[in-house]
A and B are shown apart, each in its own frame.
Chain A
């Protein structure tokens, strides 16, 4: 059975229809990416799937006992709240210190456990969010624009991390992004969303589909290759300085 499935979802917010008749499902182990322009309802769809929002029509079915690892779009930590990476990883449930260290290692940020969350660079911060998400041994990893604020090599390297996490854990991955060129080639299946499902299929199929080209133009077709030939620079691993992004985020 599918891990999560949504059937005929209608969702309106403030009188504005955001989603209409959207159905999708996620099978064990697959990487699915939802792409769409700004305001297309991508993040809303993800929130519906984790249960943070309730659809006005249609239904969301989660497999009983499903464990979801969620990596939010951005996380604003109020400057008045002191919290170390290690403490953050222990929320909401306590984990063994060696599991926390292993998760940081898997996520590509070994040894940052004692740092304050506010001292992390943008890339490190997102990897700590990823580490927290995989600590719960999730059946499905959900990422909402998880690379916002990272530069292009940074986000490419982040997505490669996701692929390696999927290999290690065997979990399904559901991502939302507007960075088509970076995410699409990493996906088994792409769902193109703009209030409704425009088209769906493998990256190769979607990138030549007329509905997709209408939304994003043809220029991005060649960008698929960009990701494939990128090399791992590891740029954002060693930045120690305070990153202003999170203070500016709200």
Chain B
């Protein structure tokens, strides 16, 4: 079954949608979209470094995304508004990655695969990374769910209950790096944030509790992944952007639907 590239692509899409759908809720609730961008863009630099040092690309992506996650977590503790610094880091890392890749001698790799995703070429090994990473993200979220939700509602309430909200934020930021590593093959570095935000935003109108929203968000993500893949096969369009288009379309339908229902 796994010999079929379409089956592998579908499984990759579903695995990614699970991790992104769950974590995406926190990204929306905490307004961390910029964090997602910075971490995802840093992954391109990770690809370049991995090629330069001849290590595995997944390894390079994870290391650089984690480093970026820790860096922005540290900066966010300074208290000042960090939007601008995040913008500099995010686009600086992206540009540096794009430049660095061209400077690697003898390498002419197709960077498009990492910018926009290349889900039709995922290998069994990629699948293992995607589902393994997704399982880790889901498990950590399960374990930390209550604490993270409390810290998201109010850092003071968290402190009063013996929860350290800074630690919860660090965990979330590290999980973002994990989702980036999982999703880069599927939708590419440029559209990872979209996969985090759009399914969660679509689910919002139909949920009464945070948990319901998270599950719905996963559902929307899976639907977008499979629908986008199908669309791409029929119309011969790139898969990653097609998945995001499908998610955006679901958001549009969902928003109108929620309005009509209300």
Contacts and interface: CB of A to CB of B under 8 A. Distances in A.
The answer to whether A and B come from one shared complex is yes
Interface of A: 47, 50-52, 68-70, 72, 75, 77-78, 80-84, 87-88, 91-93, 116, 136, 142, 144
A81 B201 contact: no
B161 A92 contact: yes
Nearest to A43: B156
Given A69-B160, A87-B209, 14 more contacts: A50-B160, A51-B160, A52-B156, A70-B161, A78-B29, A80-B29, A81-B210, A87-B210, A91-B146, A91-B150, A92-B147, A92-B163, A136-B161, A142-B160
B193 to A, nearest CB: 15
B104 interface: no
Among A69, A75, A82: residue with most chain B CB under 10 A:
A82
Interface in B128-180: 146-147, 149-150, 152-161, 163
Interface residues of B, number: 29
A80 B204 contact: yes
Nearest to B156: A72
Nearest to A74: B154
A91 B149 contact: yes
B124 interface: no
Given A75-B154, A92-B147, A82 B160 contact: no
Q: Please list the 6 inter-chain residue pairs (A to B) with the smallest Cβ-Cβ separation, ordered nearest first.
A: A70-B160, A52-B159, A92-B150, A92-B146, A81-B29, A50-B160
A53 to B, nearest CB: 9
B207 interface: yes
B154 A72 contact: yes
Contact of A72 (B29, B31, B157, B200): B157
B49 to A, nearest CB: 35
A82 B146 contact: no
Contacts of B207: 82
Interface in B187-210: 200-201, 204, 207-210
A142 B149 CA distance: 21
Given A51-B159, A80-B29, A82-B213, A75 B208 contact: no
B212 A82 contact: yes
B12 to A, nearest CB: 28
Given A78-B31, A83-B209, A50 B153 contact: no
* Chain B interface helix/strand/loop/mixed: helix
A29 to B, nearest CB: 19
B6 interface: no
A136 B163 CA distance: 15
Contact of A84 (B158, B201, B209): B209
Contacts of A91: 146, 149-150, 153, 157
A52 B158 CA distance: 9
Among B28, B200, B209: residue with most chain A CB under 10 A:
B209
A70 B155 CA distance: 11
Nearest to B151: A92
A32 B160 CA distance: 18
B24 to A, nearest CB: 11
Contacts, number: 73
A144 B154 CA distance: 13
Given A52-B159, A68-B160, A75 B153 contact: yes
Nearest to A81: B29
28 contacts: A50-B159, A51-B159, A68-B160, A70-B159, A70-B160, A72-B157, A75-B153, A75-B157, A78-B28, A78-B31, A80-B200, A81-B29, A81-B210, A81-B213, A82-B204, A82-B208, A82-B213, A83-B209, A83-B210, A84-B208, A84-B209, A87-B210, A91-B149, A92-B149, A92-B150, A93-B146, A93-B161, A144-B156
A91 B207 CA distance: 18
A221 to B, nearest CB: 33
Interface string B4-37: 0000000000000000000000001111000000
Contacts of B211: 87
Contacts of A88: 153
A80 B201 contact: yes
A173 B156 CA distance: 17
B27 to A, nearest CB: 10
A151 B117 CA distance: 56
A190 to B, nearest CB: 23
A206 to B, nearest CB: 27
Given A50-B160, A92-B146, A93-B146, A116 B153 contact: no
A91 B157 CA distance: 10
A24 to B, nearest CB: 18
Contacts of B152: 81
B134 to A, nearest CB: 23
